[in-house]
Structure 1
């Protein structure tokens, strides 16, 4: 009896070819091989590391994480060792696993984005070979624009992506579901983005009614998890409908293979699994396995046939 062949899972995000469309999202698998006991990094499409500034950054005061209905809220504050230390201390071990790595950078000024990009470009070629793209996290306070997030404005989003050009790698703009997202996504592409990642966490707050103050040490924070799934799907759907030529990476609320299918049908070429990994560090691998099973059960021979299928 012949064994039924599985679906072809390969996909592309711009010029980046991935063996499958499931990635680990930034901020959920650390900076290196923290989850190597639970997760085969090389088996995923790619691993997006926690966002890095061109300098070490301590993050926000505790408490930093709090559960909410169908998700969590966090105010970690982008704590990280900085690009230079990450290149020296974390990337070699991650590269040794065979993972395809997407570096993530952030900054408080345009100069920060430029500096982080230049540090990546100057990395040791052997280790840098594992880095296939750079996700430019523009959902950060912009000190040059009165503290508003870069991603809240088309102009500042365009400027941040342009400032990151020095990395010499494909740039993916990570955007929030705020403002006129279609215009902001188009501006990111004008700034040099090869793709857009939709969406980052949503701004929120939880108040301790007994203490009469916010639960998180940083005050407000970013809401993520299954609760934001419909928002992320709508964002992907709207951007794909307006600019279908722009590659989209979908993220937000993905915890099962069906969630991944839904996001791809909305228009994503690949997906990222984030908050689900906190509950189960094997979640990205499980999503990938369930996605493949869904394709087999529904006679979908190639996963790229799902991209934009909901648009008719």
Structure 2
């Protein structure tokens, strides 16, 4: 098994952006804090972004519609403040990256490759509204593969690159295969589903409402590409929902929307799914 595969996260991760900067999650992370926690940062862009205007989140039956707009402080500020704090807190940091061009993705990967404490990257190639968010539009699997290839060329081969895909049942298998062939260590299925607010604005739907679709996508990718590690994401909120993804072939799950309702969700799932540490050896008299 390659080094990057051995360094894969799991079985429980914090989904991109849903743990804030890490400071917000710390009081709810359990007795060990963020130590050993696989955390995906909010999507980082080269330049700072203030995020979307107007109401950004709307609760709907079974989940949330959001148009957050990828607010983040930009790469320089992230490297100077947020990343060092997360590393000191003991988290395994997977930086989510997003760009308007393939060149921006490559630049992010190159600069993050030199940053101490970056365990891996998650490449956002499945946002529900790329054009609205000002991101590189991934209309076809080869577009996603081109982004992954650009990132992989600039990031060390011994650290994982995760491709985050939209849970589109009709295209997810093509996308997963293309990203894997382009160098992705694993795929995360899935991102928010394209949706709309009640006033008609574009957004993305996440939460338990998308879980059956994401579960179908995970099962199909695992069945067709059993050698490709898949991380399930979409409505994970308790042990049963996490196990449904693992039983479908996922090597791990990400927890996102559930943290807005119960920020202790990740701590509980880690306690349930991570093997218990062996007891210390008894002292001989």
With normalisation by structure 2, the TM-score equals 0.86
User: Per-residue displacement from partner, 1:192-224 (whole Å, max 9, x unpaired)?
Assistant: 1000000000010122xxxxx33xxxx211100
Structure 2 residue 177 is the aligned partner of structure 1 residue 186: yes
Q: List runs of 5+ in structure 2 lacking aligned partners.
A: 277-285
Q: Secondary structure at the match of 2:99?
A: coil
CA offsets 1:277-310 (integer angstroms, 9 cap, x no match): 0011111112223446xx99xxxxxxxxxxxxxx
Q: Does 1:42 align with 2:35?
A: yes
Provide the rounded CA distance (Å) in 1 between the counterparts of 2:95 and 2:135: 24
SS in 2 for 1:188: helix
Deviation at 1:71, TM superposition (A): 0.8
Alignment of 1:34-183 (within 5 A): 34-39=24-29, 40-44=33-37, 46-123=38-115, 128-129=116-117, 131-140=118-127, 149-150=137-138, 152-165=139-152, 166-168=154-156, 169-178=159-168, 179-183=170-174
> Equivalences for 1:297-308 in 2 at 5 Å?
none
CA contact (8 A) 2:11 2:273 kept: no
Match of 2:18 among 25, 28, 31: 28
Q: CA RMSD in A?
A: 2.2
* Contact 1:13–1:247 (CA under 8 A) maintained in structure 2: no
| SS of equivalent residue, structure 1 residue 89 | helix
Unaligned runs of 5+ in 1: 1-11, 208-212, 297-312
> In the TM superposition, what is the alpha-carbon distance from 1:148 to its structure 2 partner?
7.6
Partner in structure 1 of residue 269 of structure 2: 287
CA distance 1:181–1:17, change in 2 (3 Å): closer
- Matched positions, count: 264
8 Å Cα contact 1:32-1:91 kept in structure 2: no
Which residue does 2:197 correspond to in 1? 206
- Determine whether 1:278 maps to 2:260: yes
1:256 aligns with one of 219, 226, 238: 238
Hey, what's the Cα distance between the residues in 1 that align with 2:82 and 2:167?
Answer: 31
Secondary structure in 2 matching 1:37: helix
Whole-Å separation in 1 of the counterparts to 2:256 and 2:237: 8
Residue 181 of structure 1 and its aligned partner are, at CA, apart by: 1.1
Alignment of 1:221-232 (within 5 A): 221-232=203-214
1:81–1:22 CA distance, 2 compared to 1 (3 A) = same
Pair 1:270–1:13, CA change in 2 (3 A)? farther
C-alpha deviation, 1:147, in angstroms: 7.6
2:280 aligned partner? none
> 2-side partners of 1:256 and 1:236: how far apart?
18
Say whether the 8 Å CA contact 2:8–2:160 is kept in structure 1: no
Are the equivalent residues in 2 in contact too, given 1:105–1:113 (CA < 8 A)?
yes
Q: Is the 8 A contact 2:100 2:136 kept in 1?
A: no
The verdict on how the C-alpha distance between 1:78 and 1:158 changes in structure 2, with shifts beyond 3 A counting, is: same
Give how far 1:167 is off: 2.6
Cα 1:290–1:170 change in 2 (3 A) is closer
3-state DSSP of counterpart to 1:136: strand
Q: Is residue 13–residue 195 contact of structure 1 (8 Å, CA) maintained in 2?
A: no
Work out whether residues 181 and 235 of structure 1, in 8 Å CA contact, stay in contact via their aligned partners in 2: yes
Query: 2:281 aligns to what?
Result: none
Stretch deviating more after TM superposition (241-250 or 109-118): 109-118
Partner of 1:308: none
Structure 1 stretches of at least 4 aligned residues deviating more than 3 Å after TM superposition: 140-143, 146-149
